[in-house]
Amino acid sequence: MGPDMSRTRSVYWQGVRAGAPFILVIAPFGMLFGVVATEAGFTLIQTMAMTALVIAGAAQFASVQLLVDGAPVIVAILTGLAVNLRMVMYSASLTPHLGKALPWQKVLISYFMVDQSYGVAIEKYTHSPDMPLGEKIAYFFGAISAIAPFWYGFSLIGGLVGSAIPPEYALDFAIPITFIAIVAPSLRSVPHLAAAIVSVIVALALSWMPYNAWLMIAAVLAMLTGAQLEKWLEARK
């Protein structure tokens, strides 16, 4: 094994170790989705198909809840897309680091780009911008290797167990914890903080809207705020 291959493998395992702590929230988060989807009337196959195809917990929860509430399918789909609009920003910020990857690598990176893998990867790239492309790719896949199997596996467990899980276990604690763990370390700049504040204010002010429409509006306004403020700050420099 050459030194380059040895180094790449070492970086891969660094990514695995960096992503491993998220297992503590991904496991109950995935199990909770399996339970919720099953109780909503999804078959086990439908539950796992959504988990594998969407692989985005927040969007899955939002869409399933809307379907349970009787919302039109198109509204559920649009809500899921709105929740995942943040992936557009994730992609843009990763492009300087992974933009020269091979096409098949980009496809896999796009599929496995979730909050946790993005958060772990961008943190590493920010502190080590001179990492070779191969090592950056290895680190990203290392991080998701520690996360994705538990998301799939515990979604399956939740779907199998379903309503047999006692409500006092309160698995829904995983939802806010996982996003706090991801978002909090990123609130280091004025645009990031402004986007977070706008999203909270708009979401609370419009929480009365049906079909979670407030979610789409808050997401769009938060992104516009962060992008515009960052553009303004760059212009001032």
pLDDT digits (tens, 9 = 90+) for 112-150: 999 889 989 999 998 888 899 999 999 999 999 989 999
Nearest to 97 by CA among 130, 145, 119: 130
Look at residue 142 in the predicted model and tell me its pLDDT: 95
Which parts of the chain register pLDDT below 50? Answer: none
Which domain range does residue 216 map to? Answer: 187-237
Look at residue 179 in the predicted model and tell me its pLDDT: 58
Pair (145, 29) in one structural domain: yes
List the Cα angle 188/191/192 in 5-degree steps.
Answer: 50
Pair (225, 110) in one structural domain: no
Look at residue 164 in the predicted model and tell me its pLDDT: 67
Look at residue 81 in the predicted model and tell me its pLDDT: 80
Pair (204, 142) in one structural domain: no
Compute, in degrees rounded to 10, the torsion defined by CA atoms 166, 167, 169, 170. 160
Chain mean position to CA 182: 9
Pair (192, 124) in one structural domain: no
Which residue carries 């789909």 as its tokens?
77
Look at residue 232 in the predicted model and tell me its pLDDT: 87
The three-state secondary structure class of 187 is coil
Look at residue 79 in the predicted model and tell me its pLDDT: 78
Look at residue 230 in the predicted model and tell me its pLDDT: 81
Inter-residue contact 61 to 184 (CB < 8 Å): no
User: What is the enclosing helix (H) or strand (E) of 27?
Assistant: helix 23-39
